[in-house]
Amino acid sequence: MVFFERVVHSLSRICDRIAQAAVVAMLLLVVGNILLRIVWKPILGTYDIAGFIGAIVIAFAIAYCALQRGHIQVELLVARFPVRVQGIIDSITGILSLGIFSLITWQCTVLANHIRRVGEVSMSAHISYYPYIYGVAFGCGLLCVVILVDLIKSLIKVMKG
Amino acid sequence: MNPGTIAIIGIVLLIFLFLLRMPVAYVMALIGFLGFAYTVSVEGALIILGKDFWGMFSSYSLTVVPMFVFMGTIAFYSGMGGRLYHAAYRFLGQLPGGLAIATCYACAAFGACCGSTNAGAAAMGKVTLPEMKKYHYDPSLATGCVASAGSLAILIPPSTILIIYGVLTEESIGKLFAAGILPGILLATLFALTVYIICRRNPELGPAGPRFSWKERVASLSGIVEMLVLFVLVMGGLFVGWFTPTEAGGAGAAGAIVIALIRRQLTWRGFLDSVVETTRITAMVFLIVTGATIFGHFMAVTRVPFDLSEWVGGLGVSPNVIMAFIIFGYLIGGCFMDSLALVTLTVPVLYPLILKLGFDSIWFGVIIVLIAEMGVITPPVGINVYVIKGVAGDVPLETIFRGIFPFLVALIICAAILIAFPQIAIFLPSFMTW
């Protein structure tokens, strides 16, 4: 379990680094487009590309954000309960979270498969964008794994009392 | 079961799961999916999951979030808040309560570079609290002041909450930003007045600091000039239509980096930390907005927002009374829930009602931000209070919450002034024709 947790942690961190690089890339694209628009001509398809980079930023950052307890939650009530009760509640919500994000991962993969099959391209840059949807599916899948780690930890908490 | 009943069951389940510590974004996506599946079809709900996640994550209009967050984190890590405070301190420090008054205006100025209330409170708390401690300011006044004034960052543009409100309601983010300027200045002045009145009644709470020469004061203005340059670049570009909101954020972030490099105030470590912080905040914001979008689809198919607006509209009660109830509801909700989550959850439901009652939607965005500001300082969830507690570890939480009270009154007065004179918020956006 410790090894599995360490692997998930490292992978999430690597993905977050990719998201960080994507933020810088987005900044360079946006500012580059402003400057080139002034001195020459705008970068074709900036809106499309910025949106795709944005998708990579979010998809690759959500798992690490979850690891750092970055997603907003209401701590008021459960924190007052005994550890075992907290473990039971966290296990139930963990199963629900895992369920919904498994569905999201699956549906993003289905959408990416569909876009790849029909060969759809973006509106202005005319580039195939299905790889970015696979990226979103991957990010959601990684979030599922993070949720799974938390779920296992909660179950251990319940077992040990 | 009729759609209205399904919606009510969905909302009850939503609140129940919130209380069970399940992340707000996950709950909204889950209940939205289940509700849509039950009301329309499982196939439709599954399709919505994939489309909404891809659609929101890749939305160009939402790329404005990481750009403005990046600008704010660079301003934070390059110590811009400190320079603003030192400038305000040199002009106002000699007044009774002058350091706290300087804090209010420095927070307002920092808000012009940063759109996050936590970052505003943390940046200014680190700089101002040691100074106020040195001059024996009452800890309750000092911490209450900086926790409250730190929240000005979400009213004075750029503002994360105004961006999200704009995205959810399809209002112009440029107009919303412009609408926040005058109320932001008004609120900063009300906070400063609050400090002044407190310290006039009991000068021991905020003893006067040293008087600085005009030479020292003029020298300190460079800290304000860089903020003004950034503000004019971002808001000016938006105002005249040179930039899209994303471009304005990008120009602001690049401008903040250039200023920090020229001043040699940004280390490589600071730059990396600001990028790390940017991805964390962006991921949190996007996930919650995407969850709210899925939940919004469920609400839309049950027609609850429209039925609610029809029902309330038919009551024959004055719109201002209804607005007072809405604000009161937000105030209570804000005590238990994060402001961003509360806004994303409620705006899609209340927006049709606001339009039906004849209120200006831009004005309501500003009111929402004011209420969010109340939410970040009221117990037990008031996040800014915990941020300040993290900075001033020796001050008990109760002391900070006690110090908040006069500033909460100032916030309520500001909301009342804006209800009586909505022109304060909608005056500047009226000049924007696009």
Q: Enter the tokens of residue B226.
A: 């860089």
Q: With cut-offs at 50, 70 and 90, classify the pLDDT of residue B335.
A: confident
Q: Would you tell me which residues 15-74 of chain B have a C-beta closer than 8 angstroms to some C-beta of chain A?
A: 17-26, 29-30, 33, 46-47, 49-51, 53-54, 57-60, 62-63, 66-67, 70
Q: With cut-offs at 50, 70 and 90, classify the pLDDT of residue B195.
A: very high
Q: Which of A42-46, B147-151, B302-306 has the lowest mean pLDDT?
A: B302-306
- Give the whole-number percent of chain B exceeding pLDDT 90: 40
CB contact under 8 A, B57 and A58: yes
The stretch A105-133 carries a mean pLDDT of: 93
The stretch A83-94 carries a mean pLDDT of: 92
The helix (run of H) or strand (run of E) holding residue B80 is helix B80-92
The stretch B104-115 carries a mean pLDDT of: 86
DSSP-derived secondary structure letter, A121: B
3 state DSSP class of A128: strand
By Cβ distance, the residue of B243, B254, B287 closest to A27 is B254
Nearest in space to A137 (alpha carbons), one of A56, A49, A32: A56
pLDDT > 80? residue B338: no
Angle at B281 between CA B57 and CA B291, to 5 degrees: 45
Looking at beta carbons, which residues of chain A come within 8 Å of B164? none
By Cβ distance, the residue of A23, A47, A77 closest to B70 is A23
Question: Which of B14, B33, B43, B49 is the best substitution to test chain A (most A C-beta atoms within 10 A)?
Answer: B49
What residues contact B350, with CB distance under 8 A and at least 6 apart? B305, B326
Q: Enter the tokens of residue B62.
A: 């939402």
Nearest residue on chain B to A95, judged by CA atoms?
Answer: B22
Looking at beta carbons, which residues of chain B come within 8 Å of A74? 18-19, 21, 24, 336-338, 381
Cα distance between residue A28 and residue B163, in whole Å: 21
The stretch B50-62 carries a mean pLDDT of: 92
pLDDT > 90? residue B313: no
CA A157 and chain centroid, separation: 27
CB contact under 8 A, B22 and A73: yes
CB contact under 8 A, A34 and B247: yes
pLDDT of residue A76: 74
- E-only strand ranges, B149-210: none
pLDDT > 80? residue B52: yes
- Count A/B contacts: CB-CB distance under 8 Å: 184
Cα distance between residue B117 and residue B110, in whole Å: 10
Q: How many contiguous H segments (helices) and E segments (strands) does chain A have?
A: 4, 0
pLDDT of residue B433: 59
Nearest in space to B382 (alpha carbons), one of B357, B408, B361, B358: B408
Q: Which pTM value belongs to this model?
A: 0.86
DSSP-derived secondary structure letter, B395: S
pLDDT of residue B1: 80
3 state DSSP class of A129: coil
Q: With cut-offs at 50, 70 and 90, classify the pLDDT of residue B184.
A: very high
CB contact under 8 A, B18 and A74: yes
pLDDT > 70? residue A5: yes
Q: Would you tell me which residues 280-309 of chain B have a C-beta closer than 8 angstroms to some C-beta of chain A?
A: 280-284, 286-288
3 state DSSP class of B48: helix
Q: Which residues are paired to A121 by β-bridges?
A: A128
Each residue's pLDDT tens digit, B77-93? 888 888 888 888 888 88
Model ipTM value = 0.94
pLDDT > 90? residue B235: no
pLDDT > 90? residue B182: yes
